[in-house]
Each structure stands twice: as structure tokens, then as C-alpha cells.
Amino acid sequence: MRITNCDSALPPENGKAAAKSGRLRRRIRRRAGSEQGSSLVEFAFVLPMFMLVITATFAFGFTLTKYMQLTNAVNVGGQLLAISRGNYDNPCTAAVNAIYNAAPNLVAGDLAFTFTFTNNGTSNQYTTASECDTAAEATSSPIFAQGESVQLIATYPCSFIGYGFNFSSLGCSMTAEVTEIVQ
């Protein structure tokens, strides 16, 4: 589109006012074709999205680190549980304490455990370490039979907090499990 001279529609001006008007028109035309402030406007549009991506990346990284710690700690606890037959008075409590020690950055009160012992096709499941220890100490207990499997599952809540909103309230949780053979 080309701007044509629209001065014919305006009333004739005299001297000083005409000179100011002409300079103003030239200045407006010159600035209209300039891209001087466009980068600032583009930056203002892109900055919030960029900050959101950066924050999400950091939150995902922290959560992934916690998940890796949880997985490693559950492996340590499962291995201890598998070799603890006859070595510990409270094998499930020893496994839970090993998990706490292997993952010091996780809040111990937020961890939930499930112990599942399989013996001759029958599964026995326990949700607390003390319940599991009581069952293991019983003389007629079928758990902790050599060559049978033991499964340890640990659950830990996610913690996505960003921009004043707690995303963990949406029900996110991390689960790590390990199955070992009782030695």
C-alpha cells in the first residue's frame, strides 16, 4: 500500500504551522517504517513462555533426581531384605532403615512401603515394617523361605511447586519396586 499526498483535503495552512505540520508528517512516515522497538515487544511476548519452560525443566530435573534416589534406595532395601533371613531380628525394619539411609534427601515420613512375600504360589502382603517383622518372627511363618521371592514397593509423592501452585496436589506419586530371591 502506498501513501499518497492527502494535503488536498486539508485547508491551506500558513507559514509556520505548515512547516511544523510537514516536519511532523515526515517524522511519522519515517518512524512508521522503522523496526526500532519491535525486538522489545517480541521479547515481552516470549519472556513468560521462556520462563515457564525453564521452570518446568528445573522442576522435572529435581523430581527425576528424587525418583533416581528412590529407585536406588529401594534396590538397596530389597537386597538387604533378601539376605536378612536369620541375620536380623527385624528384617523389614532393617530394610526400611537401609532405604532411609540410602536416600537422605527424601522425607522419611512421606515414604510408604508394601512388602510382598511369595511362598509356593501364595502371596502374603504387609503394609508396615512392624507388621512384616511380626509375621517373619512367627515360627510357623511361610515368609522368608529360602529360594522364594520377596517384593518391596515404595511410594513417594511428587513435589512440583511453581509460580505459587502446588502441582503435587493433583495426585502425582513416584513408585519404585524390586523383587529379590530370599537367600
Summarize pLDDT for 40-90 with one digit per residue, the tens: 889 999 999 999 899 888 888 888 999 999 999 999 999 999 998 778 788
- Answer whether residue 83 is part of any domain: yes
In the predicted structure, residue 11 carries a pLDDT above the cut 60: no
- Answer whether residue 1 is part of any domain: no
Element (H, E) at 177: strand 173-181
Nearest residue to 111 (alpha-carbon basis) of 98, 122, 121: 98
- Answer whether residue 113 is part of any domain: yes
Here the cell at position 124 is 502374603
pLDDT at residue 165, rounded to an integer: 74
φ and ψ at residue 50, rounded to 5 degrees:
-65, -45
To which residue does cell 496436589 refer?
A: 169
Gap between the Cα atoms of 56 and 69, Å rounded:
20
- Answer whether residue 15 is part of any domain: no
Mean pLDDT, to the nearest integer, of 1-18? 57
Q: Are 95 and 74 in contact (CB under 8 A)?
A: no
Domain count, the chain: 1
- Answer whether residue 111 is part of any domain: yes
Can you give the residue range of the structural domain that contains 144? Answer: 38-181
- Answer whether residue 71 is part of any domain: yes
Instruction: State which amino acid sits at residue 57.
Output: T
Gap between the Cα atoms of 169 and 167, Å rounded:
5
Q: What is the dihedral of CA 123, 99, 66, 165, to 10 degrees?
A: 80
Element (H, E) at 67: helix 38-83
- Answer whether residue 158 is part of any domain: yes
Q: What is the pLDDT of residues 92-123, one digit of tens each?
A: 999 999 999 999 999 999 999 999 998 888 88
For residue 7, give Cα distances in angstroms to 3, 4, 10.
11, 9, 5
pLDDT at residue 167, rounded to an integer: 67
- Answer whether residue 67 is part of any domain: yes
